[in-house]
Structure 1
Amino acid sequence: MAIKSQVLADFIAEWTKVQMPPTVVDHEYWTVYFDRSLMKKGVGTGLVFGSLLGVRMRYMVHLHFPSSNNLAEYEALINGLRIAIELGIRRLDVRGDSQLVVDQVMKESSCHDAKMATYYREVLQLEDKFDGLKLNHIPRRLNKAADA
């Protein structure tokens, strides 16, 4: 009698595993730090991606056109979002030291410059491609920690 009961329990346990839908695993948030960088021959943007598992990836994008600091910050942000999409990252915690760019994207300040408004609209289009997107301002001295 005890053996028959155990066989029945084992059958139910195995059958239940097959019949239950797979457990949905919440994707982790990757972190990306973005910043513009001045170089001897122009302006570039720097990006550092990091995952909870310790994976780190660094990217540098050289801008082949004259750019203000704020436009270069937007270029860094947009390129970071595009790279994340290409990598298949669906949840992203974006951190940058440009208070103006973060405030504009978070709708805490408005865009009065036509070029900045174009960049802003591009960010809005890209953010729809993520399941989760956070944008945070970090002071410049803290952003240097991403370089380490």
Structure 2
Amino acid sequence: MGPGSGAGVVLIFPEGNRLHYAICLHFSASNNIAEYETLINELRIAIELSTMRLYVRGDSDIVVDQVMKESSCRSPLMAAYCQEVYKLEDKFRRIKLHHIL
């Protein structure tokens, strides 16, 4: 993902309401870094909306596995992103990540 690239976040509430967000990255990032940036922004948005339970679907199996502690972070940068996700996770009663294809 290069400069000016982005990602989308869709929050779906139990009532069926949907909120769509676009995230623009202003720096060069690998796919996994872009996935972490998207996840972190998604968590921050959910926190602002006072969401207590969150089910996240992500298409990066590496990011999902690292956050769910099924694999370790090999680079310090990925570990820092993962730690930021852990800090934000504490704001929820329950959070579950699921890898989608």
**Structures share fold, TM-score greater than 0.5:** yes
Structure with higher Rg: it is: 1
Q: For residues 70 and 94 of structure 2, what CA distance do their matches in structure 1 show?
A: 19
The aligned residue for residue 59 of structure 1 is 21
Q: For residues 126 and 104 of structure 1, what CA distance do their matches in structure 2 show?
A: 15
Measured against aligned partners, the alpha-carbon deviations of 1:94-127 in whole angstroms (never above 9, x if no partner) come to: 1111100000001111101111111000000000
Q: For residues 77 and 6 of structure 2, what CA distance do their matches in structure 1 show?
A: 18
How many equivalent pairs are there?
101
Q: How do 1:88-103 residues align onto structure 2 when only pairs under 5 Å count?
A: 88-103=50-65
Structure 1 stretches of at least 4 aligned residues deviating more than 6 Å after TM superposition: none
Measured against aligned partners, the alpha-carbon deviations of 1:35-54 in whole angstroms (never above 9, x if no partner) come to: xxx58x53212100101211
Instruction: Determine which structure has the larger helix proportion and give its number.
Output: 1
Q: CA RMSD in A?
A: 1.3
SS at match of 1:42: coil
Is 1:73 the equivalent of 2:31? Answer: no
Q: For residues 101 and 119 of structure 1, what CA distance do their matches in structure 2 show?
A: 10
Tell me which of 70, 73, 92 is aligned to 1:130.
92
Q: Pick 1 or 2: higher relative contact order, CA cutoff 8 A, min separation 6.
A: 2
Counting aligned pairs with the same residue, the percent is 58
1:92–1:134 contact (8 Å) kept in structure 2: yes
Unaligned ranges ≥5, structure 1: 1-37, 140-148
